Structure 1
Amino acid sequence: MVERQSWIKSISLYLLLLAFLFPFLLIVMNSFKKTQYFVDNPLAFPTSFSFDNYISAFKSMQFPQAFVNSLLITVISVLIIILFSSMTGYLLVRFKWKVNNVLFYVMLASMTIPFQVIMIPLVMIYGNMGLLNTKTILLFMYTGFGIPFGVFTFHGFIKGVPYELEESAFIEGSSRFNTFFRIILPLLKPVIVTLVVLDVLWIWNDYLLPSLVLLSPEHRTLPLSTFAFFSSYSVDYSPLMAGLIMTIIPVLVLYLFLQKQIIKGITEGALK
């Protein structure tokens, strides 16, 4: 009976895995077809494997420039979010100021507001000020939207760090700043890795916010560069599929390298 239940459980997990992987596998298959064959039967296997679609996507998307734009925006935004949210979380936990609880709950409340509610006023305000179409404003917006969740996550982890570690450092003459970066921050590695992956997935794949802010073609990120495959009356699907695969690969590689730390961070977060 136990073996039967284990067998049923394994089959169910494999079916669930296949259901999650099916859209990705479908994109991979169709990235090797011609658009005509894709329209005729998107579920059929490709008759031959040609990289012409990838070459076409690389040129049409201006992939090197779009990749650099996405990389700069993602890396800088994530670094700023991790730095400021960790320091803010530490301040809210260790300094018993009355205003800290107010600030913390205001940040939590801001996480419940959908971006779609504020995107039009946000774009109108920055547009009237002439601040759109720059990577700096996009970085500023990503930082503002990402820090509340980062503070919430770090807040829970730092509460579980014994204060005695810091007291020992203070006795040895260490400053508050030095203690945070040399003692507290290394202990937060699991949650840092988890937040890095979550924020990279969000910023790297984001289409809506860059489409509202970055108006010039030279500023486009990889998701925006897929505009190259859309015309007024048709869509070149197969190179589009190849472009999507090329966009996904960097994030997929990052996840494969950091998957152990991600699982550890999620597990420790659940325990805390």
Structure 2
Amino acid sequence: MGNRYTGKIFIGEILAILLGLVFLVPFYYVFSNSLKPFADILTNTSSLPKVLEFQNYVNAFEKLDYLKVFSNSLMITIASNAVLVVFCSMAAYMLVRTKKKISNVIFMTFVAAMIIPFQSIMIPLMKTAGNFGLLNSIWGLVIMYLGFGSGMTIFLYHGFIKGIPVELEEAAIIDGCSRFGVFWRIVFPLLKPITVTIVILNSLWIWNDFLLPSLVLQDPELRTIPLATFFFFGQFTKQWDLALAALVMGIVPLLIFFFAMQKHIIKGITSGSIK
């Protein structure tokens, strides 16, 4: 009886489909207008392209120096994910296994930091970064992403590690494994589901981020895809045909990555919550 297909379920599915279509409308505008001449974009943005203007992509590719900005975005995303996974997994492990009040205080501090708006610390952050020579540097940006992303990353790792039996670690220690070896040989391989989830979520954030790179990376050679796309919008002209093509070229790699890995998102989060 509980598995019967009822009218309420049908209505719910229709509403879900309609809601999904609403969220797809912006993507329709971006993709369809990226294939139009500039004049057609200005006259009728809602229509389908009359002629597929693939030259928009060729021009945007050249003006963006796409391979360069793509490699910058890829390097920043990979490096930021690497440091977040390494440092935050170890931090979360120690916070879980160290049964002291200070561990709870530190953990709650990381969680509380997640709600601090970036705009409220933007000016002192830039001043501090300048004092330490972190401005106009990809590695300086990576360090900042470590700071801003550690709250959520530690929070997710913390919930997952609590479900790993301590007996596994005790057995490894009896066999002569060090505490460092226990983590990397026993615990870290068990963190694969939540690690994949963390990498996906952080990649979506870091790849699309505009504000922090715009403050840190002033050298044109260091621009990411969002930064390079912004320069199609000048003071007096807005090159919508090239900008929309550039947006599509920035979105597609992330969409491919997301659809290839999306099944791990729910799996990792639910595993952590159940544990």
Question: Given the two structures, how large is their TM-score scaled by the length of structure 2?
Answer: 0.94
Q: Distance in 2 between matches of 1:106 and 1:266?
A: 22
Aligned CA RMSD, in angstroms, stands at 1.5
Residue 202 of structure 1 pairs with residue 205 of structure 2: yes
Deviation at 1:2, TM superposition (A): 4.6
Match of 2:227 among 218, 224, 231: 224
Q: Distance in 2 between matches of 1:50 and 1:8?
A: 40
Deviation at 1:50, TM superposition (A): 2.6
* Partner in structure 2 of residue 190 of structure 1: 193
* Partner in structure 2 of residue 147 of structure 1: 150
Q: Distance in 1 between matches of 2:113 and 2:231?
A: 35
Deviation at 1:213, TM superposition (A): 0.6
Amino acid at match of 1:19: V
* Partner in structure 2 of residue 254 of structure 1: 257
* Partner in structure 2 of residue 49 of structure 1: 52
Residue 114 of structure 1 pairs with residue 117 of structure 2: yes
Superposition pairs for residues 32-47 of structure 1, below 5 Å? 32-47=35-50
Match of 1:159 among 154, 158, 162: 162
Classify the secondary structure of the residue corresponding to 1:96.
Answer: coil
* Partner in structure 1 of residue 106 of structure 2: 103
Classify the secondary structure of the residue corresponding to 1:147.
Answer: helix
Classify the secondary structure of the residue corresponding to 2:164.
Answer: coil
* Partner in structure 2 of residue 171 of structure 1: 174
- Between the two proteins, the alignment pairs up a number of residues equal to 272
Q: Distance in 1 between matches of 2:99 and 2:256?
A: 42
Q: Distance in 1 between matches of 2:271 and 2:101?
A: 29
Amino acid at match of 1:36: A
1:75-109 CA distance string (max 9 Å, x none): 00111001111000000111223422221122122
Amino acid at match of 1:234: T
Structure 1, 193-202 or 105-114: larger mean CA deviation: 105-114
Deviation at 1:128, TM superposition (A): 5.0
* Partner in structure 2 of residue 3 of structure 1: 6
* Partner in structure 2 of residue 29 of structure 1: 32
Q: Distance in 2 between matches of 1:2 and 1:109?
A: 43
Question: Given the two structures, how large is their TM-score scaled by the length of structure 1?
Answer: 0.95
Residue 16 of structure 1 pairs with residue 13 of structure 2: no
1:172-220 CA distance string (max 9 Å, x none): 2222222211221121111111110110011100000000010111110
Match of 1:58 among 41, 58, 61: 61
1:194-249 CA distance string (max 9 Å, x none): 11011001110000000001011111011000133122212010111110010011
Query: Where in structure 1 are there 5+ consecutive unaligned residues?
Result: none
Structure 1, 259-268 or 141-150: larger mean CA deviation: 259-268
The answer as to whether partners of 1:60 and 1:228 remain within 8 angstroms in 2 is no
Match of 2:215 among 208, 212, 215: 212
Runs of 4+, deviation exceeding 4 Å = none
1:240-268 CA distance string (max 9 Å, x none): 11100100111111111111111211222
